[in-house]
Amino acid sequence: MEMPKFCVITVAECDANYLSRALELTRELKNEIEEKGNPVSIRAGTLITGYYAGAMAFFQNYLTLSDFEQSYEILQASWHYQSLFKSGAAKVASRNLIKFSPVEYEENLIVEAQYLVLTRVKTLGSMLPSINRLAPVFSKTGALSYRLGSIMTGNNVGNELLGVSYKSMNQIETAYDLLVDNLDYKDLLKNVTVKARNIVKLASG
């Protein structure tokens, strides 16, 4: 799999009794975009912490913005997309475009991730050098992917977003236990402001 250069993150608030149906429609929408468009990968899930806890999140990864443009046209014409929102039980809360930075990390794309931790940071300069130095810590925990990007559109433009995927909650716990006494992590925290950290439970498939 090629490494994506862009990620589009859409968050939709859903009534609790509609979430299961919303995830089903989103899975069908994912399949439709993969069949007709050219995404690198697509995942969906539910935010289980943070401001939008209980909302649904849809992650689309692309090599080019032209590929996203094609997918957006597919999405707008999709019966699944229209059905998702026509009931009024779900509505788009935010959509952000992320441009990835070249993080040095050997991803494990064979194992399907179950959780995604998103950390949004306000910083005057890129965190990339620090994130690369911290990569061995996350590799030690078994993190499946480890990506950094800059928010280009939507809310919080200019902030950086670190996304790390895991197979289990235990791996997340281990990661933060290891970071507590890590000097590179302590140095990083002196120069940035952590604005939000959310955990997403990823849907299978």
| Domain spanning 6-98, CATH architecture | 2-Layer Sandwich (3.30)
| pLDDT tens sequence across 39-87 | 999 999 999 998 899 999 999 999 999 999 999 999 999 999 999 988 8
Could you tell me the two tokens for 151? 């928010």
Residue 205 has pLDDT above 80, yes or no: no
Of 3.65.10.10, 3.30.70.100, 3.30.365.10, 3.30.310.10, the CATH number of 101-202 is 3.30.70.100
pLDDT at 1: 64
Residue 105 has pLDDT above 80, yes or no: yes
| pLDDT tens sequence across 89-104 | 999 999 999 999 999 9
**How far from 145 is each of 29, 151, 166, CA to CA, in Å?**
24, 19, 7
pLDDT at 176: 92
| pLDDT tens sequence across 1-47 | 688 999 999 999 999 999 999 999 999 999 999 999 999 999 999 99
Alpha-carbon distance of 92 to 53, in angstroms, equals 14
Predicted confidence band at 204 (pLDDT cuts at 50, 70, 90)? confident
Map out the domains of the chain as residue ranges: 6-98, 101-202
Mean pLDDT, to the nearest integer, of 176-184?
A: 94
pLDDT at 155: 85
Closest CA to 166 of 127, 121, 111: 111
Could you tell me the two tokens for 106? 């050997």
Predicted confidence band at 154 (pLDDT cuts at 50, 70, 90)? confident
* DSSP one-letter string for 169-201: HHHHHHHHHHHTT-HHHHHHHHHEEEEEEEEEE
Same fold flag, 6-98 and 101-202: yes
Residue 128 has pLDDT above 70, yes or no: yes
Across the chain, mean pLDDT equals: 94
Mean pLDDT, to the nearest integer, of 114-133?
A: 96
Please tell me whether residue 37 adopts helix, strand or coil conformation: coil
pLDDT at 103: 96
Residue 122 has pLDDT above 90, yes or no: yes
pLDDT at 109: 85
Name the percent of the chain lying above pLDDT 90.
91
Phi (first) and psi of residue 4, to 5 degrees = -70, 155
| Strand ranges (E), the chain | 6-14, 41-47, 56-62, 90-100, 115-123, 145-153, 160-166, 192-202
